[in-house]
Structure 1
Amino acid sequence: MCAPQYSPDGKVKLTFCRDPDGTLIELVQEL
């Protein structure tokens, strides 16, 4: 899992992780 990053406009926070099968997943949280 990567450390969360904020979008340039500050409206979302996102990070990436992998599921048990190795599939890359992007997690996005609207702020």
Structure 2
Amino acid sequence: METRIFYFYYVVLQLRLETDRINSSMVHLNM
């Protein structure tokens, strides 16, 4: 089992969630 792949996927997922959260707050501020 390649654990690095799962770790990489986890990091990418966290970054996407963080980016989505920042984008939502930016949109909220712009409104």
TM-score (norm 1): 0.14
More relative contact order, 1 or 2 (CA 8 Å, 6+ apart): 1
TM-score, scaled to structure 2: 0.14
Q: Which of the pair is proportionally richer in helix?
A: 2
Larger radius of gyration: 2
Higher strand share: 1
